[in-house]
Amino acid sequence: MANRHLARSVVLQVLFERDASQGALSSLAAMGRLADYAKEFGVGDGDMPFMKELLATAIAKQKEVDEVIVRAAPEWPLEKIAAIDRNILRLGLTELLYADRTNVPAKVAINEAIELAKSFGGDSSSKFVNGVLGAVYVELGEPGKEEGGVRKSKEAKNMPTENLIGAVIYAEEKDNIYLALVHDIFGHWTLSKGKLKPGESHDAGVKRKAKEEIGLTVAVEDALGENEYVANDPKIPGGKKRRHATYFLAKAKFTDLAPKKEGGLDDAQWFPLAKVGDLNFYDDILPVITKAINILAQKSRT
């Protein structure tokens, strides 16, 4: 059986060396190092395609992955993270964000990175890596976790609750319907969403967030549903909180978007309904968008 853990450790060696060279080691040279180290460590030929793809993706996506690290560990400037930990995070996040989950489930990506941290890092490396990857895993909606909504434990019920508001924003243009979606640094298209201010109505919250995030003035229409999930927050006692999100359908004029490229967002675009099904969404957002599309289809028939 192929030894994927050993294969990952070889990829890590190359990433570490490339980091030490401050990028002077080219992608082509890195592949050469990979072949040399694979031979030195006795990695089987059957693992070479996996290693090459992992290394190539880690190099190609380094900028995006580094942005995720900065967001997930804001108290740790990237350059202050120990070099070995930094590259373990890069490898782990490359698999967590970009690998085919049928081949590398999210939990496997996290556990493998933790094991690399135990083998190559310092005393606290595995805890640090687990914390960062765990935070990203929660942001991704905990893929592969067999449970729905908030965990029904006493601990979850006693967590502080943060109320969020979001919307599926649509516009009509030349007999077509378009959705305004935002793109985050985790590589997903998602909805305009944010915290509901104390005392703020849902209607006011939707309008404010749409204006802040993508520069649109919207009219709130149908309610689309709610969901809850547990999120990490190191700033509060216990380190976890419940996030309760309420979603609405909202209409806007078809005009240029003005995305706010901060807070984890890096783009915003209009998509015709025919193209929406091809996009990469979070699992918990799909039912909301599906309901919105069904409502819009009914509106178009009346």
296 & 226 share domain = yes
- Rounded to 5 degrees, what are φ and ψ at 281? -110, 160
173 & 259 share domain = yes
Alpha-helical regions (H) of the chain: 4-20, 27-41, 48-60, 62-72, 83-98, 106-120, 125-139, 154-157, 202-214, 273-276, 286-301
162 & 126 share domain = no
Residue 290 lies in a domain: yes
CA distances for 13 relative to 6, 63, 136, 252, 290, angstroms: 11, 19, 24, 51, 44
Q: Characterise 102 by phi-psi region: left (phi > 0), alpha (psi -120 to 50), beta (else).
A: alpha
Domain of residue 244, CATH code: 3.90.79.10
Domain count, the chain: 2
Cβ-contact 125, 85 below 8 angstroms: yes
CA distances for 71 relative to 6, 39, 191, 246, 272, angstroms: 29, 37, 19, 24, 31
Q: What is d(CA 117, CA 84) in angstroms, rounded to the nearest whole number?
A: 8
194 & 237 share domain = yes
AA letter at 264 = G
204 & 107 share domain = no
Stated length of the chain = 302
121 & 163 share domain = no
134 & 238 share domain = no
pTM higher than the cut 0.75: no
170 & 296 share domain = yes
Predicted confidence at residue 62, as pLDDT, reads 94
Residue identified by tokens 């190099």 is 59
166 & 289 share domain = yes
Q: How wide is the angle at C-alpha 106 spanned by C-alphas 78 and 10, nearest 5°?
A: 60
Residue 42 lies in a domain: yes
* CA quadruple 29, 34, 35, 41: dihedral sign: positive
Q: What is d(CA 54, CA 116) in angstroms, rounded to the nearest whole number?
A: 15
Q: Could you list the pLDDT tens digit for every one of the 302 residues in the chain?
A: 347 888 898 999 999 999 999 878 999 999 999 999 888 777 778 889 999 999 999 999 999 999 999 888 888 889 999 999 999 999 999 999 998 888 888 888 999 999 899 888 888 898 899 888 988 887 776 666 544 444 444 556 678 888 999 999 999 998 889 999 999 888 889 999 999 999 999 999 999 999 999 999 999 999 988 888 777 666 777 777 888 899 999 999 999 999 887 767 889 999 998 888 788 888 778 888 888 887 887 776 65
Question: Taking Cα atoms as reference points, which of 60, 71, 66, 2 lies closest to residue 30?
Answer: 60
Residue 277 lies in a domain: yes
Q: Among residues 139, 164, 189, which one ends one of the domains?
A: 139
Predicted confidence at residue 152, as pLDDT, reads 45
- Domain encompassing residue 296: 154-301
Predicted confidence at residue 197, as pLDDT, reads 93
Predicted confidence at residue 154, as pLDDT, reads 52
Q: Which two tokens stand for residue 134?
A: 């765990």
159 & 37 share domain = no
Q: Among residues 139, 169, 196, which one ends one of the domains?
A: 139
Residue 147 lies in a domain: no
31 & 118 share domain = yes
38 & 76 share domain = yes
Predicted confidence at residue 157, as pLDDT, reads 67
* CA quadruple 218, 183, 244, 232: dihedral sign: negative
Cβ-contact 48, 80 below 8 angstroms: no
Q: Which two tokens stand for residue 9?
A: 């450790």
Cβ-contact 96, 137 below 8 angstroms: yes
Residue 145 lies in a domain: no
Predicted confidence at residue 148, as pLDDT, reads 40
Residue 148 lies in a domain: no
Q: Among residues 139, 170, 204, which one ends one of the domains?
A: 139
Question: Taking Cα atoms as reference points, which of 170, 182, 249, 166 lies closest to residue 214?
Answer: 182
Residue 149 lies in a domain: no
Domain of residue 96, CATH code: 1.10.940.10
